[in-house]
């Protein structure tokens, strides 16, 4: 077994125009002071990193590493959540996702997908330049508007949709393979890959590609009423990243999973700061340790109630207290007698 690395933190939800959250150096110093050992960097924010430059210049990639290391931290992974979303967008969501793309591509579905594909390929090379072995992203969605089967889905629709999704991602997965990096999809509502079944359908379409892996985030499974502990039993071989995020689901006689179009505070299912929700993190850390997960435990802070700075401050000690230093010996070794084949045969009476 292996000991999980951490605590680390995803920077996306903390970046803004005010110090110390407006540049990589100062935000890393802030997070180091809170007790974090690693940072996951969103690649779409130029205040943190120039993704294309990191892909094309090893010198620049080393400078980014140096900035993080000066704060006493490591880079855990890069993220292309926003770019990955644009690899596959249904026209119904075209304008809603315009904010994820350059201004000159607004409204241009094909142009956004081509730009996003190039961004993901940059991310593969940038990750290699930084010595990283895993990368976080979203799958995008062509079928999400059909997630509830009414009106009735036409025969073959889902198969056609996953075939197209795979065709868009295969060149990207191959680029990640060429660079020795695992591409980890965060299974998330709003994405065609949002649970185990959809991940399996996609995996089948990409011929079991070894670089198609999972960013495990239990909060999204709580909101889907999915057994997030058994999920680890099923898919531990593909879990290469871990977002430590809490959530709660409190259905009432008025609303359930779909939330009645309410804002986050009023929904039955909502994200919470660590320790304020219902996720069994002791169970999760135990299972991941049991299955030799040796990646990072990365806080992704999202909460409808608590201030992000409080969430970040509480997150580092919370994660640290859940990381299990795995044992190197069996607890009952003190009672062992030692044995050989002849002794074993005598015990069995043979």
| Residues 254 and 267: beta-carbon distance below 8 Å | no
Tokens of 153: 């889905």
pLDDT at 331 over 80: no
Number of folded domains in the chain?
Answer: 1
How many Å apart are CA 203 and CA 187, to the nearest integer? Answer: 13
DSSP 240: E
Q: How far apart are the first and last CA of the chain?
A: 35
Q: What is the CATH number of the domain that holds 322?
A: 3.20.20.150
Give pLDDT, residue 336: 78
List, in order, residues 6 or more apart from 144 with CB less than 8 Å away: 90, 93, 190, 191, 192
Tokens of 70: 């000066």
User: Which among 330, 322, 332 is positioned nearest to 293, based on CA atoms?
Assistant: 322
**Tokens 């999704």, residue located:** 165
Summarize pLDDT for 250-295 with one digit per residue, the tens.
999 999 999 999 999 999 999 999 999 999 999 999 999 999 999 9
Q: Please state, in angstroms and as integers, the Cα–Cα distance from residue 88 to each residue in 82, 110, 174, 334, following that order.
A: 11, 9, 17, 57
Mean pLDDT computed over every residue of the chain: 97
pLDDT at 334 over 70: no
Whether residue 107 has a cis bond before it, omega within 30° of 0: no
**Tokens 């892909």, residue located:** 55
Summarize pLDDT for 79-116 with one digit per residue, the tens.
999 999 999 999 999 999 999 999 999 999 999 999 99
**Domain carrying residue 159:** 5-348
How many Å apart are CA 267 and CA 258, to the nearest integer? Answer: 8
How many Å apart are CA 9 and CA 128, to the nearest integer? Answer: 21
């Amino acid at each position: 077994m292996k000991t999980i690395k951490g605590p680390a933190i995803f920077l996306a939800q903390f970046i803004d125009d005010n110090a110390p959250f407006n540049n990589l150096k100062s935000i890393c110093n802030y997070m180091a002071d809170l007790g974090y050992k690693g940072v996951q960097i969103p690649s779409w924010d130029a205040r943190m990193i120039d993704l294309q430059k990191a892909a094309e210049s090893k010198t620049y990639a080393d400078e980014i590493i140096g900035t993080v290391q000066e704060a006493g931290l490591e880079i855990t992974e890069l993220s292309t959540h926003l770019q990955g979303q644009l690899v596959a967008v249904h026209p119904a969501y075209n304008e809603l996702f315009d904010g994820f793309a350059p201004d000159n591509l607004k409204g241009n579905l094909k142009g956004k997908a081509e730009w996003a594909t190039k961004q993901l390929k940059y991310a593969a090379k940038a990750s290699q330049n930084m010595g990283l072995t895993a990368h976080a992203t979203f799958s995008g969605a062509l079928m999400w508007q059909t997630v509830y089967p009414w009106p009735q889905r036409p025969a073959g629709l889902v198969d056609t949709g996953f075939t197209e999704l795979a065709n868009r991602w295969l060149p990207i997965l191959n680029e990640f393979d060429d660079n020795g990096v695992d591409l980890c999809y965060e299974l998330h509502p709003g994405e065609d890959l949002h649970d185990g079944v959809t991940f399996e359908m996609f995996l089948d379409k990409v011929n079991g590609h070894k670089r198609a892996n999972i960013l495990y985030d239990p909060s999204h499974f709580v909101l889907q009423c999915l057994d997030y502990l058994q999920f680890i039993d099923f898919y531990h071989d593909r879990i290469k990243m871990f977002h430590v995020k809490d959530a709660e689901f409190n259905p009432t006689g008025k609303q359930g999973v779909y939330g009645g179009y309410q804002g986050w505070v009023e929904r039955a299912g909502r994200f919470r700061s660590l320790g304020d929700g219902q996720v069994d993190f002791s169970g999760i850390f135990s299972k991941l340790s049991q299955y030799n997960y040796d990646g990072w435990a990365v806080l992704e802070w999202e909460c409808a109630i608590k201030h992000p700075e409080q969430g970040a401050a509480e997150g580092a000690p919370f994660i640290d207290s859940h990381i299990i230093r795995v044992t190197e010996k069996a607890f009952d070794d003190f009672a062992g007698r030692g044995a050989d084949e002849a002794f074993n045969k005598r015990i069995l009476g043979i």
